[in-house]
């Protein structure tokens, strides 16, 4: 067993442990942190495979951006864990049984065949740039899938906005800019009206009303 | 390393649809609600333009471009034309339905166009990566279309289920593809097939990957035991979206299965034959038996979809060119019937009322005899009664399975379609022999009404004269798979 294999098993053990804890951790913040650990260890595994660019992207994008956002959301949401986990323990035996069974079956199949699979590619020369090679391929040979991925992202944006954006009509919000810009003419309107001459009966009625007001007081 | 610019001519329809979808997305921002119909017309024009480009740029021989990731062959062109037709019909049927339910928005049309773009990418993919990306583009658009009616709890629940199960299926599919890649060293369908033919690839790893691929495909097709999402999604989604999910994507799913199994993994035909057989038997049994117990017609049609997909697998699993072409005929026939049946539900619906229960069809003959007759044709066709298209579709897949030597399977399929006839005939009984419960006058929709007449007559006409369409299917399969 050479050093590389040792590193692989070391990282793989941590990865599996972290993955398991993501599912079993009681606190969502802990689960998210374990996911960070899993990603980071995965990046280490990719480095072993000489995929530096992917490893760095995983750390930068997933850990640096996605998981931090995720942590924010988890912390702000104040989740009720007990309610979410209601069915967890009652379903666990069956789920574990099915999961372990599938894992055993798959490993049995691969155990038989696995011996011949890993042909192992030769390590690249020292000056080899992973990033450059990926960039060259993405914009030439793989330009079609690359464009398709862009379209998928566009659909994601459209869908997210269409589902979440709510245009509420009739909200009574203030617009300070318009309040400042208002002129006297916008608010006060002078209306010229013909003067009215009152008849005697009207005068009498008006006096009576005044009197009743005073009594009311 | 020099870069050779790819030949864009074969992919012109895709490029056109993408440009138009983006254009409509932007143009729709400047339209008031009153002028929203402009988006609708633009969408229909896009379909027309794409059809014209496909006809004028299509060639009889397979053309590869984008470094072997895109193939334009006869099967692709024929299936694309049918997809345009199906999407156009979906839009006509759903126009007034979505207008009444505040779904008549630019997003609806843009998402439909992007979903169609995904289908087109799947139909002419010759690389596992493009197949997968096309599938994701389609699925993502469909998830959001289901969720578009966001104030409806039912629709949101359906979208959530669809999304989670769809993501799981995509994961399975990707895992299987990575196994195949590990065994053959390529993701290009032609090269994968060649590597398997040469026998250099590790058989166990190939079969292991195949299991995951078949499971992922089964999820997308909606066959038992991966069918759980179909009834909930069909029932929960707005009927316009159900109509969309139930029609055009089936064509793309057929192309997906063809490209993956018949072209790429043809060397493993004996392995996937058995898997498809189990799924076909279970689908026909569970689909037909569960449909009997339904009172909601959307749910009933969902179970009927499951059984139809079982029939579709019959042709594919026979593993012959004849079987593939009869499956292609079956899927086209199914799309025609599915368009008619869901279209009818929308024609009977009105503001604030969904004609989604079986009882809503009671006495349709007294209210609108012509609609009842069209529905009768479609139901006869679904049940497989001659002289409708459904009969010939069933006959041809059964013949293909018989030629491949699966007599017991054919006997079982016939038995199951007899059981299935019960719930289709029940609708006819409700329409003709029961008194109507709902006396409200049906809104007149000239365009959708005209289309449903055409749809019903096509079901009949193609049943009387199935030869041209069958010959077209046989020709395109022969041209593309040889």
pLDDT tens for B89-108 read 999 999 989 888 888 888 99
User: In the prediction, which pLDDT does A74 show?
Assistant: 82
* B182–A117 CB contact, under 8 Å: yes
Query: How many C-beta atoms surround the C-beta of residue B421 within 10 A?
Result: 17
Sort out which chain A residues have CB atoms less than 8 A from B70's CB and list them. 144
Of residues B310 and A131, more confidently modeled: B310
Q: Which residue of B has its CA nearest to A133?
A: B1
B137 touching A (Cβ < 8 Å): yes
B154 touching A (Cβ < 8 Å): no
* A116–B202 CB contact, under 8 Å: yes
Q: Among residues of chain A, what percentage have pLDDT more than 90?
A: 23
Q: Pull the structure tokens for residue A71.
A: 């942590």
**Nearest partner of B308 among B339, B277, B330, judged by Cα:** B330
> How close B322 gets to chain A, by Cα (Å)?
33
A148 touching B (Cβ < 8 Å): yes
**Residue at B2 is within a domain:** no
Question: Residues of B numbered 205-224 whose beta carbons fall under 8 angstroms of chain A's beta carbons: which are they?
Answer: 205, 208
C-beta separation of B272 from B265 below 8 A? yes
Report the alpha-carbon distance of residue B198 to residue B4 in Å, rounded: 30
User: In the prediction, which pLDDT does B57 show?
Assistant: 85
Q: For all residues of chain B together, what is the average pLDDT? A: 91
Residue B35 DSSP code: G
User: In the prediction, which pLDDT does A49 show?
Assistant: 84
Domain that holds residue B261: 9-481
Query: How does pLDDT run across B258-280, given as a tens digit for each residue?
Result: 999 999 898 888 889 999 999 99
Residue A118 clears pLDDT 60, i.e. is over it: no
A152 touching B (Cβ < 8 Å): yes
Return the sign of the alpha-carbon dihedral for residues B419, B422, B425, B431. negative
Of residues A83 and B6, more confidently modeled: B6
Mean pLDDT, residues B299-313 taken together: 94
Report the alpha-carbon distance of residue A155 to residue B368 in Å, rounded: 41
Q: Which of A140, A142, A156 sits opposite B140 (nearest CB)?
A: A156
User: In the prediction, which pLDDT does A5 show?
Assistant: 86
Q: Which of B105, B111, B130 sits opposite A159 (nearest CB)?
A: B111
Q: Which of B1, B137, B148 sits opposite A152 (nearest CB)?
A: B137
Q: Among residues of chain B, what percentage have pLDDT more than 70?
A: 99
Mean pLDDT, residues B204-223 taken together: 90
Q: Which of A112, A155, A162 sits opposite B148 (nearest CB)?
A: A162
User: In the prediction, which pLDDT does A217 show?
Assistant: 46
> How close B150 gets to chain A, by Cα (Å)?
7
Mean pLDDT, residues B333-347 taken together: 93
* B3–A140 CB contact, under 8 Å: yes
Poorest-pLDDT segment among A13-22, A31-40, A46-55, B451-460: A46-55
**Residue at B269 is within a domain:** yes
**Residue at B3 is within a domain:** no
* B133–A148 CB contact, under 8 Å: yes
> How close B329 gets to chain A, by Cα (Å)?
29
Sort out which chain A residues have CB atoms less than 8 A from B208's CB and list them. 106, 109-110, 113
User: In the prediction, which pLDDT does B46 show?
Assistant: 95
**Residue at B256 is within a domain:** yes
A165 touching B (Cβ < 8 Å): no
> How close B107 gets to chain A, by Cα (Å)?
7
Helical H segments across A1-142, by residue range? 3-24, 28-48, 52-57, 68-77, 81-84, 88-114, 130-139
Q: Where residue A165 falls among pLDDT bands split at 50, 70, 90?
A: confident
* B147–A163 CB contact, under 8 Å: yes
Query: How does pLDDT run across B378-396, given as a tens digit for each residue?
Result: 999 999 998 899 999 999 9
User: In the prediction, which pLDDT does B368 show?
Assistant: 87
Report the alpha-carbon distance of residue B342 to residue B242 in Å, rounded: 8
User: In the prediction, which pLDDT does B140 show?
Assistant: 94
User: In the prediction, which pLDDT does A122 show?
Assistant: 63
Interface test with A, best of B23, B32, B67, B225 (most A CBs within 10 A): B67
Sort out which chain B residues have CB atoms less than 8 A from A154's CB and list them. 22, 114
User: In the prediction, which pLDDT does A117 show?
Assistant: 45
* A113–B70 CB contact, under 8 Å: no
Total number of domains constituting chain B: 1
Query: How does pLDDT run across B22-36, given as a tens digit for each residue?
Result: 999 999 989 888 888
Question: Could you tell me how many CB contacts below 8 A there are between chain A and chain B?
Answer: 86
**Residue at B92 is within a domain:** yes
* A142–B67 CB contact, under 8 Å: yes
Q: Which of A106, A152, A158 sits opposite B133 (nearest CB)?
A: A152
Cβ-Cβ contacts under 8 Å for B228 (sequence gap 6 or more): B165
**Residue at B1 is within a domain:** no
Q: CA Rg, chain A, in Å?
A: 36
Mean pLDDT, residues B437-441 taken together: 79
Q: Which of B117, B144, B208 sits opposite A109 (nearest CB)?
A: B208
> How close B424 gets to chain A, by Cα (Å)?
36
Report the alpha-carbon distance of residue B112 to residue A21 in Å, rounded: 40
Query: How many C-beta atoms surround the C-beta of residue B414 within 10 A?
Result: 12
> How close B427 gets to chain A, by Cα (Å)?
36
Which residue is it, tokens 């999820």? B219
Q: Helices B74-100 and B248-257, interaxial angle, to 10°?
A: 150
Q: Pull the structure tokens for residue B141.
A: 């658009």
User: In the prediction, which pLDDT does A1 show?
Assistant: 65
Q: Where residue A112 falls among pLDDT bands split at 50, 70, 90?
A: low
Helix-, strand-, coil-residue percentages of chain B, each rounded to 5:
80, 5, 20
Of residues B326 and A172, more confidently modeled: B326
Return the sign of the alpha-carbon dihedral for residues B384, B390, B395, B401. negative
**Nearest partner of A60 among A38, A83, A89, A39, judged by Cα:** A39
ipTM topping 0.90:
yes
Mean pLDDT, residues B142-152 taken together: 89
Q: Among residues of chain B, what percentage have pLDDT more than 90?
A: 69
* B202–A117 CB contact, under 8 Å: yes
**Residue at B4 is within a domain:** no
* B130–A144 CB contact, under 8 Å: yes
Q: Is B414 helix (H, G, I), strand (E, B) or coil?
A: helix
Q: Which of B3, B18, B182 sits opposite A151 (nearest CB)?
A: B18
Q: Is B401 helix (H, G, I), strand (E, B) or coil?
A: helix
Q: Pull the structure tokens for residue B439.
A: 């006396």
What Å distances lie between residue B126 and A7, B73, B171, CA to CA?
A: 38, 11, 20
User: In the prediction, which pLDDT does B171 show?
Assistant: 93
* Burial class for A190, CB neighbours closer than 10 Å (0-12, 13-18, 19+): exposed
Sort out which chain B residues have CB atoms less than 8 A from A144's CB and list them. 6, 11, 66-67, 69-70, 130
**Residue at B54 is within a domain:** yes
C-beta separation of B126 from B480 below 8 A? no
A143 touching B (Cβ < 8 Å): yes
DSSP lists the bridge partners of residue B70 as: B65, B125
User: In the prediction, which pLDDT does A205 show?
Assistant: 72
Q: How far is CA B144 from the centre of its chain?
A: 18
Report the alpha-carbon distance of residue B169 to residue B148 in Å, rounded: 22
């Amino acid at each position: 067993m050479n050093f590389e294999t040792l590193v692989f098993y070391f990282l793989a053990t941590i990865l599996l442990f972290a993955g398991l804890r993501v599912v079993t951790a009681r606190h969502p913040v802990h689960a998210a942190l374990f996911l960070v650990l899993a990603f980071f260890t995965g990046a280490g595994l990719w480095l072993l495979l000489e995929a530096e660019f992917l490893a760095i992207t995983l750390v930068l994008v997933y850990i640096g951006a996605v998981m931090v956002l995720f942590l924010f959301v988890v912390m702000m949401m104040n989740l009720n864990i007990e309610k979410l986990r209601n069915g967890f323990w009652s379903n666990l035996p069956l789920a574990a049984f099915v999961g372990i069974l599938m894992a055993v079956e798959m490993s049995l199949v691969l155990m038989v065949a696995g011996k011949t699979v890993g042909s192992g590619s030769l390590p690249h020369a020292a000056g080899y740039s992973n990033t450059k090679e990926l960039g060259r391929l993405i914009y030439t040979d793989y330009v079609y899938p690359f464009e398709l991925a862009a379209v998928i992202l566009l659909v994601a944006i459209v869908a997210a906005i269409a589902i979440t954006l709510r245009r509420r009509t009739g909200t009574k919000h203030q617009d300070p800019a318009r309040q400042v810009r208002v002129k006297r003419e916008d608010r006060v309107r002078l209306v010229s009206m013909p003067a009215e001459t009152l008849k005697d009966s009207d005068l009498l009625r008006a006096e009576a009303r005044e009197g009743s007001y005073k009594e009311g007081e | 390393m020099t870069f050779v610019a790819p030949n864009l001519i074969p992919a012109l329809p895709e490029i056109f649809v993408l440009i138009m979808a983006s254009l409509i997305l932007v143009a729709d921002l400047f339209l008031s609600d009153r002028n929203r119909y402009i988006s609708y017309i633009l969408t229909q024009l896009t379909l027309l333009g794409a059809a014209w480009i496909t006809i004028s740029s299509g060639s009889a021989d397979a053309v590869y471009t984008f470094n072997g990731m895109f193939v334009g062959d006869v099967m692709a062109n024929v299936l694309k034309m049918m997809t345009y037709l199906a999407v156009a019909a979906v839009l006509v049927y759903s126009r007034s339905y979505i207008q009444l339910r505040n779904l008549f928005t630019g997003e609806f049309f843009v998402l439909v166009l992007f979903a169609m773009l995904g289908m087109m990418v799947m139909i002419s993919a010759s690389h596992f990566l493009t197949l997968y990306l096309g599938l994701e583009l389609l699925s993502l658009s469909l998830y959001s279309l289901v969720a578009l009616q966001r104030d409806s709890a039912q629709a949101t629940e359906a979208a959530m289920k669809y999304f989670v199960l769809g993501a799981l299926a995509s994961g399975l599919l990707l895992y299987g593809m990575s196994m195949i890649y590990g065994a053959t060293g390529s993701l290009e369908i032609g090269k994968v097939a060649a590597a398997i033919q040469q026998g250099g690839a590790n058989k166990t790893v190939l079969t292991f990957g195949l299991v995951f691929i078949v499971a992922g495909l089964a999820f997308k097709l909606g066959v038992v035991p991966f069918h759980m999402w179909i009834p909930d999604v069909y029932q929960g989604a707005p009927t316009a979206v159900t109509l969309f999910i139930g029609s055009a994507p089936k064509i793309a799913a057929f192309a997906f299965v063809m490209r993956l199994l018949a072209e790429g993994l043809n060397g493993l035909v004996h392995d996937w034959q058995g898997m498809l057989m189990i799924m076909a038997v279970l689908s026909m049994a569970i689909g037909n038996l569960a449909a009997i117990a339904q009172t909601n017609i959307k749910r009933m049609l969902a179970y009927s979809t499951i059984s139809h997909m079982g029939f579709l697998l019959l042709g594919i699993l026979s593993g012959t060119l004849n079987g593939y072409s009869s499956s292609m005929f079956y899927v086209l026939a199914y799309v025609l019937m599915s368009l008619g049946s869901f279209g009818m539900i929308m024609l009977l619906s009105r503001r604030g009322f969904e004609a989604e229960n079986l009882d809503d069809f009671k006495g349709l003959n007294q209210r609108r005899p012509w609609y009842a007759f069209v529905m009768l044709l479609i139901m006869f066709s679904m049940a497989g009664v001659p002289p409708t298209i459904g009969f010939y579709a069933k006959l041809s897949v059964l013949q293909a399975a018989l030629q491949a030597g699966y007599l017991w399977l054919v006997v079982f399929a016939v038995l199951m379609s007899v059981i299935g006839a019960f719930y289709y005939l029940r609708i006819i009984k409700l329409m003709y022999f029961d008194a109507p419960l709902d006396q409200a006058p049906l809104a007149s929709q000239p365009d959708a009404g005209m289309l449903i007449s055409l749809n019903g007559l096509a079901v009949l006409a193609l049943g009387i004269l199935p030869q041209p369409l069958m010959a077209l299917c046989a020709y395109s399969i022969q041209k593309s798979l040889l």
